[in-house]
Amino acid sequence: MAGMSAPPPCRHIYSLDRCDDYLRRRQAFAAEQPFFSVVRLGEARTHLDILERPDAVLWAVEDILSIALK
């Protein structure tokens, strides 16, 4: 997406991988690419964070939509 001339807002919402380096790499990319952001959900234990933490996923989606629709 970084190669696109006008990439749409993109948010990576995830729960696993719990490795801090995985998150740091995405945060570094986000710092260089204003269209990208990342949210790691703290209490989900599987890849099915939408089922485990629907409240947190909804917040992350509503938050990026509020930014994108400004």
Give the pLDDT band (50/70/90) at residue 4: confident
Higher per-residue pLDDT: 46 or 38: 38
Q: What is the pLDDT of residue 54?
A: 92
Q: Could you give the CA distance from residue 30 to residue 38 in angstroms, rounded to a whole number? A: 7
In tens, the pLDDT along 40-51 reads: 998 888 888 778
Predicted confidence (pLDDT) at residue 20 exceeds the cutoff of 80: yes
Among candidates 14, 12, 6, which has minimal Cα distance to 28? 12
